[in-house]
Amino acid sequence: MAIKLAKIHYVHIDRTQLPDDPEQWLVSLQSGVVIDVEGQDTNRTRVVSVLVHGNEPSGFYAVHRWLKGNETPICNVRFIISAVEAAQQPPYFTTRYLNDIHDLNRCFSLKVEDQAVKLRAASILQAISEVHPEAVIDMHNTSGSSPAFCVTTRIEMPYQALASFFCQSVIYTRLQLGSLMEQDFGCPIVTVECGGSQDQLAHEMAYQGLHEFLQAENLFAGHHYKLVDIIEHPLRLEIDKNIKLVFAEHKDESADVTLVSDIEQHNMGKTRADCFLGWSKLGIEPFTVRNEAGEVQSDNILYCQDGKLYTAHSLRIFMATSNRRIAQNDCLFYAFCTE
């Protein structure tokens, strides 16, 4: 039976009665929720968005841990927990979004016909806008194992300062995908990619960054107001949804494209030119490279020789995934040419 999305609900919680296990708390939620916590300064509000994707739990774990700590934030905070229904599908925190519903983080521009997901997205936007926040953090996990980094569509100093609560690497992008980060709330908004969803280090970073974000008197001054490593002009590598794609250690003769099973290792640093990535019976035809404007690039970042795929340039790769569904419905990875 299809699960019907609805508006997120505003709920009051007794922080002292929260279960110790975050999964028990997840199961108790009826849908996406908004939770408000009063701060020392009630004239300001910060917003923390988590679980826009149901398979990205670090932000949810961090919010649960912070609430259990029973601290009072420096100012009001509004927590928004979005894709509860997807996260509740067994096994917990493994479903990105429900099979019959669009990816929520591609729908915040509201240019989508599905009324259920449009309603959920619109209610999240309203929940943020109505408190006139001084900053918004949207916490995610990368599709594969990866160091933490932030993503922003603006590069002014307040955005850099906000990102520096969590990490020192920031991707500055002009890609327009319909994500929450692209919306205008009259304040800085940063996406935090905490690292892999199974990485304990990602969960710990999410909590420590959240803790400091909610205790800082001034988000844009002091030791957090420092430069971060800015990475610009990402390219997006997409794969045709209609081909047979597998990830394996050896070529799968039944597949159109076989990519190396350990492709996520390229998230960890620089990938040299002519690096082997897999096999393709169709050459580079199944791959599309788009720039920040969403335009198809004539110069591919891969090439095929004797049925084998290689990198055409020296690259820094982010968010490479071995999850076939994500690779074909979203993208295989983002990359930056370093030559």
Task: Note the pLDDT tens digit of each residue in 117-142.
Answer: 899 999 999 999 999 999 999 999 99
pLDDT of residue 54: 96
Query: And the tokens for 266?
Result: 């390229």
Task: Note the pLDDT tens digit of each residue in 315-336.
Answer: 999 889 999 988 998 899 999 8
pLDDT of residue 212: 95
Look at strands 333-337 and 235-239 and give their pairing: antiparallel
- For the residues 176-200, what does the mean pLDDT come to? 95
- The pLDDT of residue 292 is above 90: no
| Residue corresponding to tokens 């709920």 | 11
pLDDT of residue 291: 87
Q: Give the integer Cα–Cα distance in Å for 198 and 158.
A: 30
Candidates 3.40.50.970, 3.40.50.2000, 3.40.1710.10, 3.40.630.10; CATH matching 9-232:
3.40.630.10
Length of the chain equals 339
Domain positions in the chain are 9-232, 235-337
- The pLDDT of residue 100 is above 80: no
Residue of 98, 121, 126, 127 lying closest to 108 (CA atoms): 121
pLDDT of residue 293: 78
Q: Mean pLDDT in the chain?
A: 92
Q: Tell me the whole-structure pTM to 2 decimals.
A: 0.84
Contacts of 288 (CB under 8 A, 6+ apart): 237, 238, 239, 240, 296
